[in-house]
């Protein structure tokens, strides 16, 4: 089995890095603008085999499997995929194809990124897999035949954040559809493929407020500006490359703008009528330095179409470029104990540059300061509740009393920008004890070492990571960073000793499962899990955890035939079990909604999550 898995991984890796066959794009050298677009149209029209409208579902078996996010082989749906968390629903290829639907998750169908109505459902456009993706039927229906644009006040929002509403960029104010950021570049490159592949037929197509009835540029200017920005903001991903290769194997032609994303600017970059530059980025700050790096953050610039990128200058020299969707960056390769000047410039897809931001100075360290790592205090628990019902638990397993005045808690709004809203801890924390910070509006009542904190940083939402700092050094994070998507699990991220800065890179951190000393007491004496002398409450094991099928297996009881009680996180008793056996037993849950629960039996207790 291991050998087979290894071979499969090799096969997949070869697919991902594969590119167009040799000589596929012969004749394109030196071409730009309309001439390049026409040559590409000729190339990608040759070899195109129409597999029919029904054949799309067959193609999706290889072109649209999720081997990149959950990596579970389900249908990769741009309109339901949540890149940094669990999807709201999944589709198994070949099952639940639309059909009828009334809500999200009912079925999936074939989404024409350029609507069928614009080309009167004619072939081969109707069955061209290079711009037709499998998507949830409900969201596909809500997208309707609208063009793509930017929405600030949505009339519909899907479960993954795709939106319908009036366009907010200049040149068009009608209804548009905006996908999530992860797939904006994918959609732009599919539209560019369509108007290139079928440029000779554009005069016969309806515009739909997005196409133009000409061979070049083939798009209405406002839509072109949006798509140019999206293509720049969301570069080609491994998922797109794999899909392009699979589509080529299926129907014999490719999307040239995935193989050569630079051709988008080569074809359309000179046609832009966008002459308005972005505003200057503001509030540039040096958040931290090491011996060789400086971490910067700034307030986002604005633009009439959209900011495509930020350029970071060090002592007047361009050092780094980042996407226009981010407002922070780490500058590397600096010299220790040296003062540098930094400023940032914003650019849009048309190449218009903003004025420079404010200039700031930062001095690198003599050497990387040590981090105490295993001797630090750290987050051991996060409890998610509705509205302000939130609490954080900080544990001390250092073996010594810790002066808390050296530590602070901060948050990062929506996972970007700098760490803000600092709450400085105070007092001391004994080894083996834990401190619970709870929002002052919280319904929780913690019996041991509980502090009610008014406002930020504990007034945060599910997109706000929370950090624990020692001085200016970030030593722990709990939140939606990369593969740390579940706030509610009993795990902590702890920085490895060699990387003391204020940014998060997954390879610089270790993940710990922590068995804490305090637990959270709820505002109900019958489920008080704390003891006055801070001793560890005896626990048993609940599996699987998180619970997914309504059945839990419990093991590790020290008592026999005791009554078990299940409470939700507001202290409400939601289920009782008359007798629980010693050693192990199974409990069928009674239609409990998703959330966090405590199972208590005798003097033992365990927490579990229902997904």
Terminal C-alpha separation, the chain? 30
Residue 134, token pair as written in the block: 């499998």
pLDDT of residue 610: 77
Average pLDDT estimate for 384-388: 47
CA distances in angstroms from 517 to 99, 251, 329, 430, 521, listed in the order given: 53, 60, 37, 11, 12
The fraction of the chain above a pLDDT of 90, given in percent, is 45
Separation of alpha carbons 77 and 186, rounded Å: 12
Residues 483-493: tens digit of each pLDDT: 444 433 444 55
pLDDT of residue 531: 27
pLDDT of residue 523: 26
- For residue 259, what pLDDT band results from cuts at 50, 70 and 90? very high
pLDDT of residue 421: 65
pLDDT of residue 222: 94
Separation of alpha carbons 419 and 361, rounded Å: 19
Which of 229-238, 361-370, 407-416, 513-522 is predicted least confidently?
Answer: 513-522
The more confidently predicted of residues 244 and 500 is: 244
Separation of alpha carbons 399 and 402, rounded Å: 9
- For residue 520, what pLDDT band results from cuts at 50, 70 and 90? very low
Separation of alpha carbons 25 and 35, rounded Å: 14
Is residue 446 a contact partner of residue 520, using CB atoms and an 8 Å limit?
yes
Looking only at the bridges linking them, the beta strands covering 473-478 and 491-495 are antiparallel
What's the helix, strand, coil split of the chain in %, to 5? 20, 30, 50
Query: What size, in residues, is the chain?
Result: 611
Residue 389, token pair as written in the block: 């019902």
Residue 449, token pair as written in the block: 């070492």
pLDDT at 462 over 70: no
Residue 338, token pair as written in the block: 């040296």
The C-alpha torsion from 41 through 47 and 48 to 50, rounded to 10°, is 150
pLDDT of residue 568: 65
Q: Which residues of 472-487 are buried (b: 16+ CB within 10 A; e: fewer)?
A: ebbbbbbbbbeebebb
pLDDT of residue 24: 96
Tell me which DSSP letter residue 533 carries. Answer: T
CA distances in angstroms from 482 to 244, 295, 463, 506, 513, listed in the order given: 25, 19, 12, 7, 18
Residues 181-214: tens digit of each pLDDT: 999 999 999 999 999 999 999 999 999 999 999 9
Give residue 434's Cα distance to chain centre: 31
Q: Is the dihedral of CA 395, 399, 405, 408 positive or negative?
A: negative
* Residue 560: half-sphere exposure toward Cβ, Cα within 13 Å: 2
Residues 51-109: tens digit of each pLDDT: 999 999 999 999 999 999 989 999 999 999 999 889 999 999 999 999 889 999 999 99
pLDDT of residue 335: 87
Average pLDDT estimate for 238-251: 95
Cα–Cα–Cα angle for 508, 509, 515, rounded to 5 degrees: 170
Give phi and psi for 467, each to the nearest 5: -125, 150
Separation of alpha carbons 188 and 113, rounded Å: 9
Residue 278, token pair as written in the block: 């972005």
In the chain, what are the domains? 2-271 (no CATH), 282-363 (2.60.40.10), 373-513 (2.60.40.1260), 537-610 (2.60.40.3080)
pLDDT at 459 over 60: yes
Residue 246, token pair as written in the block: 């699979």
Residue 427, token pair as written in the block: 């007092």
Q: What DSSP string runs through 89-140?
A: ----TTSSBSS--SSTTS-EEEEESS-GGGGTT-TTGGG-GGGEEEEEHHHH
The more confidently predicted of residues 450 and 263 is: 263
Separation of alpha carbons 472 and 96, rounded Å: 52
pLDDT of residue 48: 96
Q: Which residues of 512-536 are buried (b: 16+ CB within 10 A; e: fewer)?
A: eebebbbbbbbeeeebbbbeeeeee
Separation of alpha carbons 418 and 558, rounded Å: 48
pLDDT at 368 over 70: no
Is residue 514 a contact partner of residue 492, using CB atoms and an 8 Å limit?
yes
pLDDT of residue 163: 96
pLDDT of residue 228: 94
Report the 10 Å Cβ neighbour count for 359: 12
pLDDT of residue 2: 30
Average pLDDT value for the chain: 78
Strand partners, 481: 484
The more confidently predicted of residues 303 and 368 is: 303
Tell me which DSSP letter residue 594 carries. Answer: S
Average pLDDT estimate for 540-566: 74
Separation of alpha carbons 144 and 139, rounded Å: 9
pTM of the model: 0.56
pLDDT at 280 over 90: yes
pLDDT of residue 341: 95
The DSSP element (H or E) to which 562 belongs, if any, is strand 562-568
Which segments within 131-260 are labelled E, that is strand?
Answer: 132-136, 156-157, 163-166, 175-178
Which of 65-74, 102-111, 217-226, 561-570 is predicted least confidently?
Answer: 561-570
């Amino acid at each position: 089995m291991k050998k087979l898995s290894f071979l499969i991984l090799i096969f997949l890796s070869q697919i991902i890095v594969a590119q167009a066959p040799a000589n596929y794009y012969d004749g394109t050298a030196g071409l730009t603008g309309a001439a390049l677009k026409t040559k590409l149209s000729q190339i990608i029209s040759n070899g195109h085999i129409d597999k029919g409208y029904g054949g799309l579902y067959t193609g999706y078996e290889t072109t649209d499997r999720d081997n990149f996010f959950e990596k579970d082989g389900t249908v990769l749906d741009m309109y339901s995929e949540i890149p940094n968390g669990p999807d709201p629903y999944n589709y198994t290829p070949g099952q639940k194809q639309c059909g009828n639907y009334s809500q999200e998750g009912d079925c999936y169908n074939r989404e024409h990124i350029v609507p069928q109505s614009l080309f009167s459902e004619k072939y081969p456009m109707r069955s061209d897999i290079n711009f037709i993706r499998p998507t949830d039927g409900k969201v596909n229906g809500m997208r309707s035949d609208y063009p793509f644009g930017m929405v600030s006040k949505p009339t519909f929002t899907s479960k993954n954040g795709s939106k319908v509403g009036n366009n907010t960029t200049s040149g068009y104010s009608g209804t548009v559809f905006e996908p999530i950021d992860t797939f904006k570049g994918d959609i732009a490159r599919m539209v560019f493929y369509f108007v290139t592949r079928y440029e000779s037929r554009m005069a016969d197509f309806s515009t739909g407020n997005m196409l133009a009835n000409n061979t070049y540029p083939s798009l209405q200017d406002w839509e072109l500006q949006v798509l140019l920005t999206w293509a720049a903001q969301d570069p080609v991903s491994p998922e797109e490359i794999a899909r392009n290769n699979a589509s080529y194997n299926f129907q014999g032609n490719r999307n040239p703008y995935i193989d050569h994303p630079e051709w988008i600017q080569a074809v359309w970059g000179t046609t832009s009528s966008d002459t308005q530059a972005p505003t200057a980025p503001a509030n540039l700050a040096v958040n931290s330095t090491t011996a060789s790096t400086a971490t910067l953050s700034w307030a986002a610039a604005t633009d009439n179409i959209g900011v495509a990128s930020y350029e970071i200058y060090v002592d007047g020299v361009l050092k780094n470029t980042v996407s226009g969707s981010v407002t922070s960056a780490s500058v590397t390769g600096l010299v220790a104990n040296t003062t540098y000047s930094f400023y940032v410039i914003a650019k849009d897809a048309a190449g218009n540059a903003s004025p420079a931001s404010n200039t700031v100075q930062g001095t690198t360290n003599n050497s990387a300061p040590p981090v105490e790592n295993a001797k630090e205090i750290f987050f051991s628990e996060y409890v998610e509740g509705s509205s302000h019902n939130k609490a954080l638990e900080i544990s001390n397993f250092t073996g010594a009393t810790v002066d808390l005045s050296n530590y602070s808690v901060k948050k990062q709004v929506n996972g970007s920008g700098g760490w803000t809203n600092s709450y400085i801890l105070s007092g001391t924390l004994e080894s083996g004890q834990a401190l619970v910070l709870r929002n002052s509006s919280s319904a929780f009542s913690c019996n041991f070492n509980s502090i009610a904190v008014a406002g930020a940083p504990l007034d945060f939402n599910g997109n706000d990571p929370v950090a624990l700092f020692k001085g200016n050094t970030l030593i722990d994070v709990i939140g939606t960073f990369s593969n740390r998507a579940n706030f509610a699990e009993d795990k902590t991220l702890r920085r490895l000793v060699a990387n003391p800065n204020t940014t998060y890179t997954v390879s610089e951190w270790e993940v710990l499962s922590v068995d804490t000393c305090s637990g959270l007491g709820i505002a109900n004496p019958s489920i008080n899990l704390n003891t006055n002398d801070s001793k560890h409450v005896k626990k048993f094991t609940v599996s699987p955890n998180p619970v997914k099928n309504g059945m839990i297996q419990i093991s590790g009881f020290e008592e026999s035939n005791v009554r078990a009680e299940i409470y939700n996180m507001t202290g409400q008793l939601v289920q009782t079990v008359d007798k629980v056996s010693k050693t192990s037993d199974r409990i069928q849950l009674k239609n409990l909604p998703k959330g966090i629960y405590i199972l208590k039996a005798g003097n033992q207790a365990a927490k579990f999550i229902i997904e």
